[in-house]
Amino acid sequence: MFQIVRKQEMAKGTIIRFDINAPKIAKKIKAGQFVILRVNETGERIPLTVADKDEFAGIITIIFQVVGKTTALMRSLNEGDLIKDVVGPLGKPAHTDKIGTVIMVGGGTGVAILHHVVKAYKEAGNYVISIIGARDKEMLILENEMSQISDELVVTTDDGSYGQRGFVTDPLKKYLDERKDIKQVYAIGPIIMMQNIVKLTKKYEIPTMVSLNPIMIDGTGMCGGCRVKIDDTTRFCCVDGPDFDGFKVDFDELLNRNSLYIKEEKDSLLFSIK
């Protein structure tokens, strides 16, 4: 059993942060890796990339958006409550070598995952420019935390209620036009955002890593649920990823596969709150 030691509601209560006591995972987990969590004996398995860790306190931080039955159930948990299983670290760590100036882009809840990866890039000695975006001011998360670990931070909101108006791709394009020292772009967020970032960076020939989140079940390479097409080859995101070379990802197939169960997810959420 794993205890929730801190709970914080963010973004109008639709995004939740849990600090969970998990000393063995906190000791081993690296930026970009994820855990699979099961709330109770009969619960479904939810993959969540870790947003931060405190190795000495034995704590991992997860930040999730309430979208279906299980995440709604998780929101009802409070500090002191126990989670049945937390399995990890899973997946491959992000490559965070020292390469120079990097642009790190996060959209929506993707900023939570980006946070851990930015920390690692910064610790490796890179010059880190972060761009984070949200629909509006209230949906923006981790601005202070991101500003502390980035050399430069740009914030966008779709409606212009805070920061620059527009998508994260707008300041990214500006940086790519103005600076010639960008060695890599790293992106995490909605699939359409990552797809559009890759379309842009391809034109500038800037290597781009993306962190994918296909449907996952076992998280250990057994079920094939998380298959993604990379350079026309099938790869399993849970063991071969979640980070991949963005230029090689078949985003259209990923979009199709991820939309397969949207109706069932909504139905199960509605059923659970009736």
| Site of interaction with ligand NAD (CB under 6 A) | 107-110, 113, 133-135, 156, 158, 167-169, 188-190, 192-193, 196, 211-213
254 contributes a contact to ligand FES by CB under 6 A: no
For ligand NAD, the closer CB: 21 or 112: 112
- Least CB distance from residue 200 to ligand FES, whole Å? 29
For ligand NAD, the closer CB: 11 or 21: 11
For ligand NAD, the closer CB: 21 or 66: 66
- Quick check: 185 and 105 in contact, CB under 8 A? yes
For ligand FES, the closer CB: 132 or 226: 226
Question: Which of ligand NAD, ligand FES, none does residue 188 bind to, with CB < 5 to 8 Å depending on kind?
Answer: ligand NAD
Element (H, E) at 24: helix 23-28
Residue the block writes with tokens 């030691």: 5
- Least CB distance from residue 18 to ligand FES, whole Å? 22
Helix pair angle (191-204, 169-178), 10° resolution = 10
- Least CB distance from residue 121 to ligand NAD, whole Å? 17
- Quick check: 208 and 176 in contact, CB under 8 A? no
For ligand NAD, the closer CB: 26 or 237: 237
- Least CB distance from residue 14 to ligand NAD, whole Å? 9
- Count of C-beta atoms within a 10 Å radius of residue 227: 18
**Spatial separation of the C-alpha atoms in residues 82 and 2, rounded to whole Å:** 5
- Least CB distance from residue 63 to ligand FES, whole Å? 21
118, 174, 231, 29: CA torsion to nearest 10: 0
Element (H, E) at 7: strand 2-10
- Quick check: 190 and 107 in contact, CB under 8 A? yes
The tokens for 203 are 């034109």
- Nearest residue to ligand NAD by CB is 108
Looking at residues 43 to 62 of the shown chain, list those that interact with ligand FES (rule: CB under 6 A). none
Helix pair angle (251-258, 191-204), 10° resolution = 180
Looking at residues 194 to 253 of the shown chain, list those that interact with ligand FES (rule: CB under 6 A). 216-219, 221-226, 236, 238
Pairing of strands 127-134, 152-157: parallel
Please give the residue ranges that form the binding site for ligand FES (CB under 6 A): 216-219, 221-226, 236, 238
